[in-house]
């Protein structure tokens, strides 16, 4: 009986550790994820939001301060899509004490980009939920302008 209990505890702990495993996205996926989050973040300066948006649209013919990077962070991103009422979708973004709720197209954009970046989704009672925490993206505009595939990286945890 003791072996069974120990096995059960180890199995549950392993599942929880796997669910909270850090995910890293790089390159175009990281740039896309940073771009969709940055436009809603009160923590990203307006100038930096414009730079990220410009890079995301493929415009790389401008100067940017050397050795300067842009950080895009979010404490959590929780997106819900109904698989019963297919018109319902929302995302709650948390930046410190500030919260932003997105619906419709904007929520779908964040949700789909998060899935492309490696977020996992779980189904529960008529809804599909993505739960991302500790999002930290680093954008290096000068590296991106070299068009060699680098300059964007995001790390986050899923299933929290």
How far is Cα 140 from Cα 70, in angstroms, rounded to an integer?
Answer: 6
Nearest CA to 92 out of 138, 46, 37 is that of 37
pLDDT in tens, 119-156: 998 887 788 999 999 999 999 999 999 999 999 999 99
Confidence bin at 11 (pLDDT 50/70/90): very low
| C-alpha triplet 111, 132, 121: angle, nearest 5° | 55
pLDDT of residue 126: 84
What φ, ψ does residue 44 adopt, rounded to 5°? -100, 125
How far is Cα 63 from Cα 82, in angstroms, rounded to an integer?
Answer: 44
Nearest CA to 144 out of 62, 76, 47 is that of 62
Confidence bin at 13 (pLDDT 50/70/90): very low
Comparing 1 with 49, which gets the higher pLDDT?
Answer: 49
Q: What value does the mean pLDDT of the chain take?
A: 88
CA atoms within 13 A on the CB side of 115: 13
If you search the block for the tokens 């299933």, which residue do you land on?
Answer: 159
Q: Say which DSSP state 62 is in.
A: S
Measure the N-to-C terminal CA separation of the chain; round to a whole number of Å. Answer: 31
Confidence bin at 14 (pLDDT 50/70/90): very low
């Amino acid at each position: 009986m003791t072996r069974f209990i120990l096995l059960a505890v180890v199995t549950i702990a392993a599942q929880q550790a796997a669910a909270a495993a850090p995910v890293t996205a790089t390159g175009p996926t990281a740039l896309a994820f940073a771009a969709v989050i940055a436009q809603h973040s009160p923590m990203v300066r307006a100038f930096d939001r414009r730079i990220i948006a410009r890079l995301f649209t493929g415009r790389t013919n401008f100067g940017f301060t050397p050795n300067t990077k842009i950080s895009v962070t979010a404490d959590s991103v929780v997106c819900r899509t109904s698989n019963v009422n297919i018109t319902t979708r929302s995302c709650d973004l948390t930046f410190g004490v500030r919260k932003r709720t997105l619906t419709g197209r904007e929520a779908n954009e964040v949700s789909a980009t998060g899935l492309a970046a490696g977020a996992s989704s779980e189904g529960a009672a008529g809804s599909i939920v993505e739960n991302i925490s500790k999002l930290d993206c680093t954008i290096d505009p000068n590296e991106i302008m070299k068009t060699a595939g680098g300059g964007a990286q995001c790390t986050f945890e899923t299933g929290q």
